Amino acid sequence: MHKLAELNNPAAALLFADYCQSSGLQVKAELATAGPAILYCDEGDYQQATALLREFIQQPDHPRYQAAAWQRSQPVAQTGRPVKVAIPWAKVINSPVTSLILLLCLLVYGWQQLDFKTATSSLQLTEPAQLWRWFTPALLHFSVTHLVFNLLWWLLLASALERRFGSISLLHFTVVTAVISNAAQYFLVGTNFGGLSGVVYALFGFCWLNQKRDPQPRPLISDPLAIFMVVWLLLGFADVLWVSMANWAHLAGLLAGLLMALLMKPPRAAVDH
**Residues labelled as active-site residues:** 197, 250
Q: How far apart are CA 186 and CA 70, in angstroms?
A: 30
Query: What is the C-alpha separation between 23 and 35, in angstroms, rounded?
Result: 28
| Spatial CA neighbour of 152 closest among 219, 106, 217, 96 | 106
Contacts of 40 (CB under 8 A, 6+ apart): 1, 2, 3, 4, 27, 28, 29, 30
C-alpha 233/C-alpha 223 separation (Å) is 15
d(CA 157, CA 159): 6
- Contacts for 94 with CB less than 8 Å, ≥ 6 apart: 163
